[in-house]
Structure formats: structure tokens, C-alpha cells
Structure 1
Amino acid sequence: MIRSLWTAATGMKGQQLNIDTISNNLANVNTTGYKTQRLEFKDLLYETMRKSNLNDEQGRPVNLEVGHGVMASATTRDFKTGSVMETQNTLDLALDGPGFFAVLMPNGEARYTRDGSFKLSIDGDEASLVTSDGHFVLDEDDNTIVIDQEMKDLSIDEQGYITAKDEDDETVELGRLKIVDFMNSEGLLSEGRNLYKATEASGEEIAIDADEMDSSILQGYLEMSNVQVVDEMIKMISAQRAYETSSKTIQAADEMLQGANNLKR
């Protein structure tokens, strides 16, 4: 019965972590480009009380094993494209399909995001395309995207090419947004602020050329989170019931221990 107490405790701890994950999904239901997380579990070690024993096709065909509970093994992200909301803002971009925008951090390293709510950072007579936190957005040559003050009618097409009109009303190409993907997107490290970092698990970035893009860039739109509130509510109810069941198991084991202790009376 002591084993059952600790086993049920692992179930309660696991479901508490499950609720934490679900609550984070629900809290980010309106976060631009947020991707749903899912907690995965695996069972713990087993104690083999009696092994199978077959001799000349006679004996016990199965083992007698007792498990020691459950543990959280991983959190995975669903990178399915979320719904798209029209903003009519020239600098709002949504990726319809796989891929990430690349941005430059102050330490010179690259980070990746699905949040296309970009802004202009003014520096004298020039402006740079940046994120809401001021990180520079990179073009396909790993350079920052600079726009002269005289430029107007900024336009970004479905493949990421940036054009504008100069003071002579002629169309000028300013570059192309860097769009990347990874062999294992689920291996990316979430750093918060809608940013991901490449890891050994994700593999190095794979730059996507314009003629190889399976996705398209929508100007004047933003990708919303792909959190399905109804699904998360169902998961939350299921996790709550599992938590209650584990607590009932502890209560039942406690009552059995109490009954055993009272046998001497």
C-alpha cells in the first residue's frame, strides 16, 4: 500500500503539470503566432514480482509486474497554421504555411518567429524593419532591411520580395525577407516573446528560396494562435478528473493502512 501512495502521487504531479500546460495554451489564445503545446507522459519503472517461466510449453506465460506511476516526458508544439486576421496594416505579415521569419538579436545571434507584427525603427533619414521588441528583421542575405525616408508605398509580395517607390515614383526592390524552416521544428527552444532558438534537436535553419516556398506571405494580415479553446477545455476537464482519481487512490490507500493498523485492537 505504501507503493500505491507514491504511485498515485506521481499521477497527481503529472496532471498538475498537464493543467499548467493547458492553462498556458488558454492564456495565449490571442497571442500572435502562438503554437499549442501538448504534454506527453510515460510510465515509470516496473517491479517484476514473478517472471514468466515456460518449459516444454508449460508454466507461466506472462510476468507479474507492478508499475511505479507516471512521469512527464516531453512537451511538443503543434505548428499547424493558425487562423489569419486582417489588419490592413502594411507592416503586418502572416505566413500561410510552414516557415519562420528570421530576426537578429542584440548579441548577433538569429532567432525565429511566426509573429509578423513588424514596425519601423527610425534612425536619421533611414528606417529599419524590426519586431515589436526592436529586433532587426533579416533579409535572405542576413542583412537588415533598410528603407530610405523618401520611399513610399511599401509592398511585400507572397514570396517576401519588398518593393517601394522612390521620389521619382519608380519601383525599387529593397530585398527579400528571409524565410527559414527546420527538419524538426518541434526541437526548437521557446524563449518567450514569440521567439524560437535553433538547437541540435531542431537542426540548423534551412533557408527557403522564393521558387521553393510551400507557404505564402500575406501583407496586411496577422496569424493568430492555433489554440482551440473547446479542445483545451475538454483536456482540462479530463486532467482534473484524472487528478481527482489519483487523490481518491491516495485516500483509499490511507484507509486501508488505517484498517491494517487497527487490526491489533
Structure 2
Amino acid sequence: MIRSLWTAATGMKSQQLNIDTISNNLANVNTNGYKTQRAEFKDLLYATIKRTNLQDDMGAPVNLEVGHGVMPTATTRDFRNGSLIETQNTFDFAIDGRGFFSVVLPNDQVRYTRDGSFKLSVDGDEATLVTSEGYIVLSEEDDAIVMENGMKDITVDNMGYITATDEDGEIVEIGRLKLVDFMNPAGLLSEGQNLYSATVASGEEIPLEADEMESKIVQHYLEASNVQVVEEMVKMITAQRAYEVSSKTIQVSDEMLQMANNIRR
């Protein structure tokens, strides 16, 4: 019965983490480019009380084992595309398919995002394409994307090439957005602010070349969160019931221990 107390406690702890993950998904239901997280679990070590003992087709055919509960192992992100929402904003870009935008932090470290809600940071006669936090959006040459004063009719095609009309009415090419992918996107490290960093698990960035990329850039749109509220509500109810069952197990184990202590009275 003492074992059952600790086993049930692991179930309650795991379901608490499950609820934490679900609540984070629901909190980010309106976050641009947010990807749903899913908590994963595995069972703990088993105590083998009796092993199989088959000799000449006789003996015990199965083990006698007792588990010690459950533990969380990972929180996996679902990188399926979210819905595309029209904004009519010139500098809102959505990736339809796989891939990430590349941005550089003030410490010169590169990060990756699916949030294409970009802005212009004006400095004199030039403007640089940046994120909402002011991080520079990289071009495929790993440079900043700079637009001169007087440029208008700025457009981005499906492959990420940015063009504009200058003061003389001529169409000029400004650059191409740097788009990358990873062999294992689920291995990326989430850093908040809709940013990810590469890890050993994700592998190094794989540039998406214009003539080979299957994804496309959609201007005037943003990618919404791929959180399915109904699914998260069902998961939350399931986690709550599992938490209640584990707490009930602790209560029953306590009552059984109390009965055993009162036998001699």
C-alpha cells in the first residue's frame, strides 16, 4: 500500500504537467505562428516479483510485476500549418508549408520564427525590415533587408523575393528573405517571443533555395496558431479525470492503511 501512495503521486504530478502544457496552448490560441505542444509520458521501473519459468511446456507463462507509476518524457510540438489570416499589411508574410524566417539578435545570434509580422525600422533615409522586438530580418545573403526612402509598391513573391518601385518609377529588387528548414523541427528549442534556436537534435539549418522550395510566401497574410480549442478542452477534461482518479487512489490507500493499523484494537 505504501507503493500505491507513491505511484499515485507520480500520476498526479504528471497530470499537473499535462494541464500546464494544455493551458499554455490555450493561452496562445491567438499567437501568430504558435505551434501546439503535446506532453508525452512513459511508465517507470517495474518490480519483478516472479519471473516466467517455462520448462518442458510447464510452469508460469507470464511475469508477476508491479509498476511504480509514470513520468513525463517530452513536450513535442506539432508543426502543422495554422490557418492564414488576411491583414492587408504590406509587411505581413506567412509561410504556406515548411520553413522558418531567420532573424538576428543584438548579440549576433541567429534565431528562427514562423511569425511573419514584420515592421520597418527607419534610420535617416533608409528603413530596415525587423520583427516587432526590433530584431533584424535576414536576407539569403545573411544581410539586413534595407529599403531606401521613396520606395513604394513593395511586393514579395511566393519565393520570397522583395521588389519595389523607386522614385523614377523603375522596379528594383531589394533582396530575398532567408528561409530555412530543419531535418527535425521538433528538436528546436523554444525561447519565447515566437523564436526558436537550433540544437543538436534539430540539426543545422537547411536553406530553402528559390528554385527548389515547395513552400511559398504569402504577402498580406499571417499564420494563425494551430491550436484546436476543442481538442485542448477534451484533453483538459481527460487530464482532470486522471488527476482525480490518482487522488482517489491515494485516499483509498490511506483508508486501507488505517484499517490495517486498527486491526488489533
Compute the TM-score of the two structures, normalised by the length of structure 2.
0.99
Post-superposition CA distance 1:168-209 (Å, at most 9, x none) = 100000110000000000000000000000000000000000
Letter in 2 for 1:19: I
Per-residue deviation, 1:215: 1.0
Q: Deviations over 1:238-257 (max 9, x none)?
A: 00000000000000000000
SS at match of 2:236: helix
Are residue 243 (structure 1) and residue 249 (structure 2) matched?
no
**In structure 2, what residue type is equivalent to 1:148?**
E
Which amino acid letter does the alignment assign opposite residue 247 of structure 2?
A: S
DSSP 3-state at the match of 1:54: coil
Structure 2 counterpart of 1:174: 174
Give matches, 1:1-265, under 5 Å.
Answer: 1-265=1-265
RMSD: 0.5
Q: What SS is found at the alignment partner of 2:120?
A: strand
Distance of 2:102 and 2:228 partners within structure 1: 27
Q: What is the alpha-carbon distance in structure 2 between the residues aligned to residue 130 and residue 101 of structure 1?
A: 11
Shift of 1:69: 0.1
Which amino acid in structure 2 is aligned with residue 252 of structure 1? V
Q: Secondary structure at the match of 1:210?
A: coil
Identity %: 72
CA distance in 1, matches of 2:238, 2:80: 23
Q: Which runs of 4+ in 1 moved over 6 A?
A: none
- Per-residue displacement from partner, 1:54-113 (whole Å, max 9, x unpaired)? 112211111100000000000000000001110000000011111000001111111000
Kindly provide the CA deviation profile for residues 133-186 of structure 1, in whole angstroms up to 9, marking residues without a partner as x: 000000111111000012111111111000011111000001100000000000
What amino acid maps onto 2:200 in structure 1?
E
Which whole-Å CA distance do the structure 1 matches of 2:54 and 2:148 have between them? 82
| Aligned equivalents of 1:83, 1:103: Cα separation in 2 | 23
Aligned length: 265
Deviation readout 1:207-242 (Å, 9 max, x if unpaired):
000111111111000000000000000000000000
CA distance in 2, matches of 1:169, 1:225: 39
Quote the offset at 1:16 in angstroms: 0.4
SS in 1 for 2:144: coil
Bigger mean CA deviation after superposition, 55-64 or 186-195: 55-64
5+ residue gaps in structure 1?
A: none
Aligned-pair CA distance for 1:119: 0.1
